[in-house]
Structure 1
Amino acid sequence: MRLVLLSDTHMHHEALTVPPCDVLIHAGDFTRRGRRQEVEEFLRWFSLREAREKVLIAGNHDFLCEEAPDLARALIQEAGVRYLQDEEAHVAGLRIWGSPMTPRFGQWAFNLDRGPDLAAHWQRIPEGLDLLITHGPPSGLGDRTWSGVSAGCEDLLARVRQVRPRLHVFGHIHEAHGEYTLPGLATRFLNVSNCRLMPFGVRPPLVVELEPRSPRSTTDGGPEEGGASVA
């Protein structure tokens, strides 16, 4: 099964070439400032991509999704897109859970204070996921800024260690694009930010092959879970 992964397109989506796929996923920051016009413009483009299923979460720039959640959800659903805001969906045989939350920084959308607030929030992530989508990265994995700051969330990393999704997809930190692993953990961590920080421009979407679990699969990250590969 082919997954195409996007994040942090910030209204530069027209510059991307999205290959046909089974599931098209966007990990948030599809707008610059979350205005309704931006949301509608992005959705017109996103809805026309050649994909059997489309999944979207918001990011810290996507203010409409926080300030007018019913309107945003209606617009997204009318475009034929699955919208996840701290919830799970079964998509093309995959268990997926998505969240827009990131540690507080400035006056952005979907921010929570580090510590108990975020730790309690991440406890909602269930076990047995094929794919976890968060806008922001876990601590130490795809989270280093140009200034050398590790901006990821420690409590998110702790929860991922517990629930062990097969893939953890995120963005938010544009300059930390790439794949990351942790010793002893089968989870693959993918920062799929499309917009570059320096130099400016966009990166192509990341394509991943991921098969649904077989009925005999386990949830402990072992070899029975099935593999995932970058196409």
Structure 2
Amino acid sequence: MTKPIQLRKHSMANYPLRVLSQLEKTHRFDQLPNLKNFPSASRKAISNNKLRIACTSDIFDNMTKLVDSCPPADILIIAGNISRTSKWTDIVKFRKSLDDLPTTYKILVPGSSDYCFNLENLTDEQAKQCERNTIKKELKLLGLKHISQYLNNVIYLQDMGVEIAGVKFYGSPWVSINKTAAFYSSRNEIMKQWNRIPRGIDVLITCQPPLGHGDADYIEEHLGDVDLLAFGMSFNGYTYFVNSAMCTRSYNPSNDFIVFDVPMPDRASKSSPNINYFTGLV
């Protein structure tokens, strides 16, 4: 078992704008070229020694866009917010759409609106919105205990990880900015969730962005988490931050998939990859 990192929460975790102001004075962040003018990795042939990854999030019921726009890839990452209401009928449509996607593996991390994945910890209002009783009834008829079991063609990551062909992925659904989220933890407490992330993760998937990276909002200015800034997708000495939201704030599915390649370790194979699950640290 990997030893916990056990980082301490930032002393100014509740003041993200002040922290960001300080970071901008001492840290350098390079912005990638506009994707519309930058050659997409999806146009290149998929390499035998790299995992082609396509990622999206905030689908909000736009299953036609999901299926029609998904590029060929080894792995599709969906970083939360499948639908707006998280009802049983929404999940049924989502499951059917997954069968039509051109990727070998699908990784799902639940988002703020995905109440169906946390049925036992909902408020009365949340339970009403997702029609919790209906979901429980349908799961019971199928002999299932959790909605992720219904999505049998998905790798579901909730505070856990998976290693595919030597590349390690970890998913965490927690957010500190929205008290009505399916998985909420305050800014003072959320470091407990981040400390569950093991060392050596290649691709970290979260619902909430880190402070200052893809977190700008037209009302709150910056929604990112101060403590999450220590984590990210890292290879070759660099960390890449990706905001993969499909929809705009008006639920218009106008954003394309983000596509990138991750090098595989030596002797790793796509034809017979080792797939190993691992839990988050306690």
Moved over 6 A (4+): none
Give the equivalent residue in structure 2 for 1:108.
181
1:132 aligned counterpart, secondary structure: strand
Give the equivalent residue in structure 2 for 1:224.
none
Q: Is 1:25 matched up with 2:98?
A: no
Select which of 79, 82, 100 maps to 1:48.
100
Deviation at 1:135, TM superposition (A): 0.8
Cα-to-partner distance string for 1:159-194 (whole Å, 9 max, x where unaligned): x1xxx6427xxxxxxxxxxxxxxxxx6110000101
Select which of 258, 265, 268 maps to 1:206.
258
Provide the aligned length of Structure 1 versus Structure 2: 191
Deviation at 1:35, TM superposition (A): 1.1
Deviation at 1:68, TM superposition (A): 5.8
Larger C-alpha radius of gyration, 1 or 2?
2
1:110 aligned counterpart, secondary structure: coil
Give the equivalent residue in structure 2 for 1:182.
none
Aligned-pair identity (%):
28
1:25 touches 1:55 (CA, 8 Å); kept in 2? yes
The 5 Å alignment of 1:106-185 reads 106-115=179-188, 117-147=189-219, 149-158=221-230, 160=231, 165-166=233-234
What is the distance in 1 between the residues matched to 2:266 and 2:120?
39
Deviation at 1:12, TM superposition (A): 0.9
What is the distance in 2 between the residues matched to 1:15 and 1:68?
31
Q: Relative contact order (alpha carbons < 8 A, sep ≥ 6): 1 or 2 greater?
A: 2
What is the distance in 2 between the residues matched to 1:199 and 1:87?
29
Give the equivalent residue in structure 2 for 1:171.
none
Q: Is 1:82 matched up with 2:132?
A: no
Distance change >3 Å, CA 5–CA 126, structure 1 → 2: same
2:177 touches 2:223 (CA, 8 Å); kept in 1? no
> Which letter does structure 2 place at the counterpart of 1:23?
I
Deviation at 1:52, TM superposition (A): 1.2
Give the equivalent residue in structure 2 for 1:179.
none
TM-score by length of 2: 0.63
Deviation at 1:202, TM superposition (A): 2.3
What is the distance in 2 between the residues matched to 1:150 and 1:93?
34
What is the distance in 2 between the residues matched to 1:165 and 1:18?
21
Structure 1 residues 125-134 or 102-111, which shifts more?
102-111
Give the equivalent residue in structure 2 for 1:173.
none
Give the equivalent residue in structure 2 for 1:71.
146
1:7 touches 1:193 (CA, 8 Å); kept in 2? yes
2:216 aligned counterpart, secondary structure: coil
What is the distance in 2 between the residues matched to 1:87 and 1:201?
29
Where in structure 1 are there 5+ consecutive unaligned residues?
A: 168-184, 216-231
TM-score by length of 1: 0.76
